Amino acid sequence: MSVGELLADKRICVCGGSGGVGKTTTSAAIALGMAAQGAKVAVVTIDPARRLANALGLDELENEPTRVDPKRLAGNIEVKGELWAMMLDPKRTFDELIERIAKDPERAEEIKANRIYGELSTAVSGSQEFTAVAKLYELARDGDFDLLVLDTPPSRNALDFLDAPGRLTSFLDGRALKAFLRPTGLGMRVLGRGAAPFLGALRRVTGVDLLSDLMTFFSLLGDMTDDFKERAQGVERLLHSPQTAFLLVTSAQPAAIEEAIWFRRTLSESGLPFAGVIVNRVHHDRLGDSEPADVVAELGTELKADLAQRVAANFADYHVLARRDRLGVERLRAELGGAPLLLVPHLDDDVHDIEGLLRVHRFLFASETEREQLIAGVVA
Amino acid sequence: MAVFSTAVPGLFERRLIFVTGKGGVGKSTVSTALGVLAARRGLRTIVAELASQERVRQAFGQGGDTFAEVALGERLFTISVDPQYAMEEYLKVKTGPVGQALGSSRLFQAFAMATPGMRELLSVGKVWELSQDRRRTEDANPYDLVIVDSPAAGHGVGILRTPRTFAEIARVGPIAQQGRAIAATIADRDFTAVVAVTTAEEMPVNETLWLRDALAAEQLPLDAVIVNARYPERFAPGERSALMAAREHASGPQARAALSAAVSEQARAASQSAEVERLSGGLGQPLVELPYLFAEDMGPGELETLADALDRGLREPAAAELVS
């Protein structure tokens, strides 16, 4: 199975996974490959390597997809379709969202100047995830592209991407707070006490000013919360659509494999369309369970004795990694129950330019047989 | 404490160490190895994980009650900090029965957890509590050192900034007070240290340089930079052509694979050296290097090896000579 086949009838491809597993390069390589096959593709990424951004001519000031100049790819790969890319600016995306749904520009300005909003939109956690799906939703609704590829924000935990937008939406929705402050609200009933001591407790915990700031913020948002809710529902529909594919990107290290398994289970439980796993940086030495025998003897007299010794020692070390990766991939394969699993070998150096992109692309879009041959070419 | 003549001034003389860096560089592993080393030096140490992934405990092959302080070895403990659990604990101690009822209300929890920055404030608040001489938690013993396995760099800086932000937003009241107390602790260089972990690759190095600037904007220094997973430089650049020629003429598949591995190793090590040089030049501060471990998993044995390397590295940072 190649990525080309996996995404044949898809409109959205979400690349998830924990940090440091090559998600950005993989997303860009997927977009490139689909564009090469003739589609008009946009890749939305948050924090690409400077060299990759430069190579693609990405400008962080745009916050909209821009077409990657075909000249940049010419001579390397024939692109029948169009490749577009954008670097997401979370703060600006949030501001634009407010400007779009506020009832007038004055209200939008007031909200943007609110301190709670300032914290919310630059924050800590969640704002990248929230704005990434917000952008994805808008691009999908505009319908200018055959395929959108989303590189999910870097996070330690792949699941953040699924949780954070909902958390933020439920905050913006303000239902929880309103319910609390209403004298007949559920909060009061749960406590079985009058409103006064309850509100007192809430004040004691949060401080009067924080509470009133929150109230101001929500009153500014007013009926905009309905828009947020509607959008959130739209996003949910989009992510659950059969035309959406979640691809999980991981490395073969034991901790990453465990996380991938966990992520896959959560996707299934949430009813999200899981399409397969891409395992990056896999060490292969094709020795299986057999130990590297006397490599030194096989090396013959080509190399000086001490260099041959070092080659053998290095090979023994890589055999440990190859064995580790093979066991990890086997464990993952067993868990996946037949879902597609694509392996990309550990390539020699950092892949953060067009050249690197093309190398990853070759593995992702190769047929099974081609991939076997490619892997044979980069053993260990 | 002057007996430990560390070149990085007194890392283990602080009470609170935040360990941060880009995702995938081995923050949890390095945090734990730091913990192993601190415990070895006689400090009662706890490694606090903020992402509740329990990687530390997994490395020691332990299960057990989540979110509790768990002993891993002599003088070494771990805890997985969960914001919701921290909130319930805080409310129980601070606000009596009404607060307790509030904390156990699902709606209030949903609201508090959704408030931007609240999860971070609660997490860092728990970490702060762990580092105090007089613990808020009942029957809890104080620690000599708390090592915080923090989220990835951007979010990691957020964690450090959150208490002050809340102090400013809330102005008065308990959150403001708590925020101010924690912010003062974080700003106290005698008490708190920030350590960056990176690998010698382009993106992690960029993020480390960015982290230094982002911390500087918060008036926080970067007390140590640890370069994890350095390949051994087994082959000299001049040997590359010999290795490639030998691969051309290799007699058997095993020899060919071994020579390919050697050629790759040489390229990876060379690319790492270039990145280390860039990092060292950009930071103008010594680096501590840890070896790449060719191991199937990170178990106690591997952590001991890394603790040994940290011990050496913190005494004499490897790249000191690169800094002019």
Q: And the tokens for A23?
A: 């998600």
Q: And the tokens for B36?
A: 């192993």
Look at A201 and B98 and tell me if their CB atoms are within 8 Å. yes
Partner A, chain B 121-150, Cβ-Cβ below 8 Å:
none
Q: How far apart are CA B113 and CA A19, in angstroms?
A: 23
Look at B175 and A202 and tell me if their CB atoms are within 8 Å. no
Q: Are A339 and A276 spatial neighbours (Cβ–Cβ below 8 Å)?
A: yes
Look at A18 and B23 and tell me if their CB atoms are within 8 Å. yes
Q: What is the pLDDT of residue A65?
A: 94
Q: pLDDT: is A291 or B54 the higher one?
A: A291
Q: Are A64 and A171 spatial neighbours (Cβ–Cβ below 8 Å)?
A: no
Q: What is the pLDDT of residue A92?
A: 92
pLDDT over 70 for what percent of chain A?
84
Partner B, chain A 267-326, Cβ-Cβ below 8 Å:
285-287, 292-293, 295, 298-300, 302-303, 307, 310-315, 317-318, 320-321, 323-324
User: Is B154 in CB contact (< 8 Å) with chain A?
Assistant: yes
Backbone φ and ψ of A266, nearest 5°: -65, -40
* A141 pLDDT more than 90: yes
Q: What is the pLDDT of residue A380?
A: 45
Q: What is the pLDDT of residue B243?
A: 94
Q: And the tokens for B259?
A: 């020579």
Q: How confident is the model at residue A275 (pLDDT cuts 50, 70, 90)?
A: very high
Q: What is the mean pLDDT of residues B190-217?
A: 93
* B25 pLDDT more than 70: yes
Look at B261 and A315 and tell me if their CB atoms are within 8 Å. yes
* B175 pLDDT more than 70: yes
Q: What is the pLDDT of residue B63?
A: 56
Q: Which residue of B has its CA nearest to A326?
A: B296
* A129 pLDDT more than 60: yes
Q: What is the pLDDT of residue B140?
A: 79
- Chain A residues with CB-CB distance to B53 below 8 A: 156-157, 259
Q: Are A38 and A80 spatial neighbours (Cβ–Cβ below 8 Å)?
A: yes
Q: What is the pLDDT of residue A145?
A: 98
Q: How far apart are CA B195 and CA A248, in angstroms?
A: 30
User: Is A115 in CB contact (< 8 Å) with chain B?
Assistant: yes
Q: What is the pLDDT of residue A209?
A: 63
User: Is B2 in CB contact (< 8 Å) with chain A?
Assistant: no
Looking from the CA of B204 toward its CB, the CA atoms found within 13 Å total 28
Look at B102 and A201 and tell me if their CB atoms are within 8 Å. yes
Q: Are B100 and B59 spatial neighbours (Cβ–Cβ below 8 Å)?
A: no
Q: What is the pLDDT of residue A283?
A: 93
Backbone φ and ψ of B46, nearest 5°: -125, 135
Q: How confident is the model at residue A75 (pLDDT cuts 50, 70, 90)?
A: confident
pLDDT in tens, A40-68: 999 999 877 777 787 788 766 688 999 99
Look at A197 and B106 and tell me if their CB atoms are within 8 Å. no
**Listed range (A207-216, B123-132, B249-258, B310-319) with the worst mean pLDDT:** A207-216
ipTM score of complex: 0.85
Q: What is the mean pLDDT of residues B179-188?
A: 92
Q: And the tokens for B56?
A: 């530390």
Q: What is the mean pLDDT of residues B307-320?
A: 80
Q: How far apart are CA B186 and CA B155, in angstroms?
A: 16
Q: Which of B60, B108, B228 to mutate to test the interface with A (most CBs of A within 10 A)?
A: B108
Q: How far apart are CA A126 and CA A153, in angstroms?
A: 10
How many angstroms separate the CA of residue B177 from the nearest CA in chain A? 9
User: Is A353 in CB contact (< 8 Å) with chain B?
Assistant: no
Three-state secondary structure of B91-145: HHHHHHHHHHHHHHCHHHHHHHHHCCCHHHHHHHHHHHHHHCCCCCCCCCCCCCE
Look at B24 and A120 and tell me if their CB atoms are within 8 Å. no
Among A267, A270, A282, CA closest to A341: A282
* A324 pLDDT more than 90: yes
Q: How far apart are CA A205 and CA B103, in angstroms?
A: 10
Q: Are A101 and A234 spatial neighbours (Cβ–Cβ below 8 Å)?
A: no
Report the SS3 class of residue B267.
Answer: helix
* A104 pLDDT more than 70: yes
Q: And the tokens for B190?
A: 């005698």
Q: What is the pLDDT of residue B305?
A: 97
Q: pLDDT: is B3 or B284 the higher one?
A: B284
How many angstroms separate the CA of residue A242 from the nearest CA in chain B? 30
Q: What is the mean pLDDT of residues A17-30?
A: 88
Look at A123 and B116 and tell me if their CB atoms are within 8 Å. yes
* A174 pLDDT more than 70: no
Partner B, chain A 5-24, Cβ-Cβ below 8 Å:
18-21
Q: What is the pLDDT of residue A298?
A: 84
Q: What is the pLDDT of residue B7?
A: 46
* B293 pLDDT more than 90: yes
Q: How far apart are CA B91 and CA A201, in angstroms?
A: 10
Q: How far apart are CA A149 and CA A376, in angstroms?
A: 29
Q: Are strands A66-67 and A82-87 parallel, antiparallel or unpaired?
A: antiparallel
Among A253, A16, A18, A14, CA closest to A156: A18
* B62 pLDDT more than 70: no
pLDDT in tens, A330-365: 999 999 989 999 999 988 766 677 888 898 999 999
Q: How far apart are CA B20 and CA B197, in angstroms?
A: 6
User: Is A49 in CB contact (< 8 Å) with chain B?
Assistant: yes
Among A366, A370, A361, CA closest to A79: A361
Q: What is the pLDDT of residue B321?
A: 43
Q: What is the pLDDT of residue B146?
A: 98
Q: What is the pLDDT of residue B51?
A: 63
How many angstroms separate the CA of residue A221 from the nearest CA in chain B? 15
* B136 pLDDT more than 70: yes
How many angstroms separate the CA of residue A362 from the nearest CA in chain B? 19
Q: What is the pLDDT of residue A46?
A: 81
Q: What is the pLDDT of residue A194?
A: 43
Q: What is the pLDDT of residue A179?
A: 59
Partner B, chain A 202-241, Cβ-Cβ below 8 Å:
202-210, 213-214
pLDDT in tens, A221-260: 877 878 888 888 898 899 999 999 999 999 998 888 988 8
Look at B254 and A205 and tell me if their CB atoms are within 8 Å. no
Q: How far apart are CA B88 and CA B85, in angstroms?
A: 5
Q: How confident is the model at residue A156 (pLDDT cuts 50, 70, 90)?
A: low
Look at B98 and A197 and tell me if their CB atoms are within 8 Å. yes
Size of interface A-B (CB pairs under 8 A): 245
Q: How far apart are CA B92 and CA A373, in angstroms?
A: 62
* B122 pLDDT more than 90: no
Partner A, chain B 244-273, Cβ-Cβ below 8 Å:
245-246, 249-265, 267-268, 271
Q: What is the mean pLDDT of residues B260-284?
A: 94
Look over chain A and give the mean of its residue pLDDT values, rounded to a whole number: 84
Backbone φ and ψ of A117, nearest 5°: -65, -40
Global pTM? Answer: 0.88
* A181 pLDDT more than 60: no
pLDDT over 70 for what percent of chain B?
81
Q: What's B259's DSSP letter?
A: H
Q: Are B114 and A165 spatial neighbours (Cβ–Cβ below 8 Å)?
A: no
Q: What is the pLDDT of residue A22?
A: 87
* B310 pLDDT more than 90: yes
Look at A154 and B23 and tell me if their CB atoms are within 8 Å. yes
Q: What is the pLDDT of residue A186?
A: 45
Three-state secondary structure of chain A: CCHHHHCCCCCEEEEECCCCCCHHHHHHHHHHHHHHCCCEEEEEECCCCHHHHHHHCCCCCCCCCEECCHHHHCCCCCCCCEEEEEECCHHHHHHHHHHHHCCCHHHHHHHHHCHHHHHHHHCCCCHHHHHHHHHHHHHHHHCCCCEEEEECCCCCCCCHHHHHHHHHHHHHHCHHHHHHHCCCCHHHHHHCCCHHHHHHHHHHHHCHHHHHHHHHHHHHHCCHHHHHHHHHHHHHHHHHCCCEEEEEEEECCHHHHHHHHHHHHHHHHCCCCEEEEEEEEECCCCCCCCCCCCHHHHHCCCCCHHHHHHHHHHHHHHHHHHHHHHHHHHHHHHHHCCCCEEEEECCCCCCCCHHHHHHHHHHHHCCHHHHHHHHHHCCC
**Listed range (A98-102, A191-195, B139-143, B155-159) with the worst mean pLDDT:** A191-195
**Listed range (A92-106, A132-146, B7-21, B72-86) with the worst mean pLDDT:** B7-21
Count of residues for chain B?
A: 324
User: Is B115 in CB contact (< 8 Å) with chain A?
Assistant: yes
Q: What is the pLDDT of residue A251?
A: 93
Q: Which of A89, A128, A151, A204 to mutate to test the interface with B (most CBs of B within 10 A)?
A: A204
* B58 pLDDT more than 80: no
Q: What is the pLDDT of residue B148?
A: 96
Look over chain B and give the mean of its residue pLDDT values, rounded to a whole number: 84
Look at A20 and B259 and tell me if their CB atoms are within 8 Å. no
Q: What is the mean pLDDT of residues A127-143?
A: 91
Q: pLDDT: is A355 or B239 the higher one?
A: B239
User: Is A262 in CB contact (< 8 Å) with chain B?
Assistant: no
In chain B the beta strands, taken as DSSP E runs, fall at 16-21, 45-49, 70-73, 76-80, 145-152, 192-199, 224-230, 287-291
Partner A, chain B 80-99, Cβ-Cβ below 8 Å:
91, 94-95, 98-99
Q: How far apart are CA A334 and CA A322, in angstroms?
A: 18
